[in-house]
Chain A
């Protein structure tokens, strides 16, 4: 049960996936725990709880952030987008669809963070942001092509212990409209199992 506001709790209104949620949270509660434990939005994953793995990546005002290092009380007023909010109804976001089609995961636990990160990577790149892999970082330089090396560098805050990086990079590239080396998807059957 939500405790009443006190010196250790506060009522906050969180704007998540376009929907407002008002709840009373312990001041120690991270945004990640508020999502998972209080709002039943468990798509955002807890891999390390200390900002080192990227599994809890969400979009805050459109930019990626690790929600384990964000206190819930400090997230008031921000536009929070989680993995539950990136699809358009039944239609998957192009990044989600590419992860599904190209097998950009194995166990799936880092996947929501990878997808949220990838969505932001594509936008950051389109906005002309350079990365450590960018050769020419002068402001006047043309935006770098989104090469596999650029994708790897920009996605490096998201660990995948299953080692699905090769197919994740292919998925991000496909979602960005680029085909990389040997994205082998010819003849992949996509029908699901019986419901």
Chain B
């Protein structure tokens, strides 16, 4: 990094050097307060009641006995709830009506919110909620997700449902080698450690919501729309957020809390239980995917076909666009991709870390490994031979594409050159050993944001930007970015985030948060620095410069903009028990400028840990008889624990984005992409058996035997 100079003072650049988190001390001492931890006088506690029926209507709710219970203040339900508006376009489109609670008597799935019990204490609310009798008129439900659903249909998500070029059948017919395989991934749940929590209150004619979410501009806008309020009269704060991963947007708990606070005219807190999160917080749909690859004898692709089916609810359309990665990764003479969805009597799925890319890369990168095996070419060399010059579907140039650099450096560090490609031939005692690799990509984008940077009279700086730090380290990254732009040191910069009153900003999602906010901070800080250079002095109220990146982001040229990565895994498989252990992992990434190596490495490794968890553990299972889950908790739904996760190395190659003021691309999601495929490919290398259905459970390893 270069050294910037202010006056006579040389200031070392902060971006690119490792910094501990600015709120770190608060987090290790327990003083960082999360949404459910801010005290309010006269606080009442709400407890949601969810449907036990999978489809039908509410016939009646016996509120009288519950209202007579100690401490109970009210029961809100479909017959007394204030009306809500769901006919609007929010920051991410039309709202999922699941959040618009208690508006009708229809029940579209198990776990649909049917009532909120509010009481003086949480114990009173909980007991009353548990004894509230709700009677349903039940109808037959359908939760059967399978590849051959006749009612599946194509659906555009944030990308087109279908892309196609070339004659697929002709190219497959002309191929020397064809892979045609079906892959499945299960229903997966975000499970951030902090359950969704919101406290709502009216204060001087303004609605205030203290919440745990991924963007208070976003959530405040949704609440204003839904309750038909002037946007300026809604303030949402979210200072510390205990993880989100896509699940923390507008949800039933905030809406129910606002309703109750409005009805009771006192502060009301609603916290989801862990079990309720399995119904109310969104999840990743199961997928079934078919991949067909046709290649010449030298491994060059003639045909690529990736079609994916996911599920959505009957009340809202969300599609897991798993066929998307092929549009970035590989070209072929005939190139078809399609995303379809089927409506079932289940909750609405939502964005979950690397939506589309995580399950899609499992299928595509597994199929690529199968192709490498069939054509007898090393998996990395096969990818080198299929490296596209331009976007395979768009034809646009890549802003930068350093995938092969990741593979080359990763292969060197992992010791890939010494790998014997034959499967099932390495043993360490009772364990069979294998290694696998896979490619990763994730879109690099930015969303419009505003920021204000103030030079204070005491020589320090205050940055106000409505970012959300959901564990990403955004608060610290923005401190470093601002310090460099202001040519000062991080200790002279304080960053205020997580408050919708700070002004409109992008949400923490799509790996776009830090890039979007850093852009706005840089714009304002650059101008402020120029004004300070005039040496006119700083008045007592300071000098504030505001920025808005809407125009700058709108002026970006059309390009294929992505991060890339290469994943490597070594596994040990016990053929007697079916247990799979990941022994080591390496991820090399080309993901723009890395602002804070300390937190960035942690975030990449966290994504890769999700990949292990996806490959081996996570699976939410529904009971077809009831339509609900088995074991909807952290014992029944296993996420990777300490003992599941070995030492993981993550590092990066130089990949500065020249069109971003800081060079950032975004790193929140790419760590999981390809990671499950690398593990599955390593399991094949260890055992000689392809596992095309996740998770790779011990029973699947045992019953697969030695047959692919």
Residues of A in contact with B (beta carbons under 8 Å apart): 26, 28-29, 33, 36-37, 40-50, 52-53, 55, 82-84, 87, 92, 96-97, 99-101, 103, 105-112, 115, 133, 148, 151-153, 155-169, 180-182, 184-185, 187-195
Contacts and interface: CB of A to CB of B under 8 A. Distances in A.
B28 A192 contact: no
B363 interface: no
Contacts of A108: 23, 26-28, 32, 240, 242, 471
A37 B123 CA distance: 11
Contacts of B127: 28
Contact of B27 (A36, A101, A111, A191): A111
A83 B37 CA distance: 15
29 contacts: A36-B37, A46-B36, A46-B195, A48-B633, A52-B635, A82-B30, A84-B30, A84-B31, A99-B28, A101-B20, A105-B471, A107-B240, A107-B471, A109-B194, A109-B242, A111-B27, A152-B643, A160-B193, A163-B606, A163-B609, A163-B645, A165-B642, A181-B647, A188-B18, A191-B19, A193-B490, A193-B493, A194-B461, A194-B492
Interface stretch (B76-84, B295-303, B596-604, B619-627): B596-604
Interface in B30-55: 30-34, 36-37, 39
B274 A167 contact: no
B494 A43 contact: no
Contacts of B245: 161
B553 interface: no
A9 B493 CA distance: 49
Contacts of B639: 159, 161
Interface residues of B, number: 80
Interface string B459-472: 01110000000111
A181 B647 CA distance: 8
A28 B119 CA distance: 15
A87 B601 CA distance: 28
A103 B599 contact: yes
B29 A83 contact: yes
Contacts, number: 221
A182 B413 CA distance: 14
Contacts of B609: 163, 165-166
A43 B195 contact: no
B301 to A, nearest CB: 33
Given A92-B28, A194-B492, A159 B242 contact: no
Contact of A47 (B28, B274, B489): B274
B391 interface: no
A187 B18 contact: yes
B121 A52 contact: no
Nearest to B23: A108
| Max chain A C-beta neighbours (<10 A), residue from B29, B123, B491, B647 | B29
Contacts of B607: 163
B635 A100 contact: no
Contact of B460 (A45, A84, A133, A194): A194
B163 interface: no
B192 interface: yes
A163 B123 contact: no
A152 B195 contact: no
Contacts of A33: 122-123
Contacts of A110: 193, 242
B642 to A, nearest CB: 4
Kindly list the 5 A-B residue pairs having the minimum CB-CB distance in the complex, ordered from nearest.
A43-B30, A109-B242, A107-B471, A163-B609, A163-B606
Contacts of B634: 47-48, 52-53, 159
